C-alpha cells in the first residue's frame, strides 16, 4: 500500500512540475508511456543492452516532443552546436590518447630529455 501511495504522490508532483514549467498537463497514459520508456531505458542500460536502451529513450523523447513541440524546437536548433562541441572534445581526447601511446613507447630518459631535463 505504501508503494502505491508514494507513486501517487510522485505522479502528482511530476504533473504539478510539468504544468508549472510547460504550461499544460499530459494525459495519464502519455505520462505512463514517457516514464515507463525512460525507466525501461535505465534498466536496459544497466543490463548493457545499449541499442534497446537508446530505442526506449527515443520513444519517450518522441512522445515528449509531440506533446511540447515549442520546447523541443529550441533543443533542435541547439543540437548542431552541441554536436560540434562534442566532436571537438572527442578530437582532443584522440590526440591525447595518441600522445600517451607515443610516450609509452619511449623510455623515461628519452621523455625527460625531451622536456629539457
Give the pTM: 0.46
Say how far apart CA 77 and CA 38 lie, in whole Å.
23
Whether the pLDDT of residue 1 is over 60: the answer is no
The residue extents of the domains of the chain are: 25-114
Which among 33, 2, 28, 4 is positioned nearest to 15, based on CA atoms?
28
Q: pLDDT tens-digit profile of 41-97?
A: 999 999 999 999 999 988 888 888 888 888 888 877 888 888 888 889 889 988 888
Amino acid at each position: 500500500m505504501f508503494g502505491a501511495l508514494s507513486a501517487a504522490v510522485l505522479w502528482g508532483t511530476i504533473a504539478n512540475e510539468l504544468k508549472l514549467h510547460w504550461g499544460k498537463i499530459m494525459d495519464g497514459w502519455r505520462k505512463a508511456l514517457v516514464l515507463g520508456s525512460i525507466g525501461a531505458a535505465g534498466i536496459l542500460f544497466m543490463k548493457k543492452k545499449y541499442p534497446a536502451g537508446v530505442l526506449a529513450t527515443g520513444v519517450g523523447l518522441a512522445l515528449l516532443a509531440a506533446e511540447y513541440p515549442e520546447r523541443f524546437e529550441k533543443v533542435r536548433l541547439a543540437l548542431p552546436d552541441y554536436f560540434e562541441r562534442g566532436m571537438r572534445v572527442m578530437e582532443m581526447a584522440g590526440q591525447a590518447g595518441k600522445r600517451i601511446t607515443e610516450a609509452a613507447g619511449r623510455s623515461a630518459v628519452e621523455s625527460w630529455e625531451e622536456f629539457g631535463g
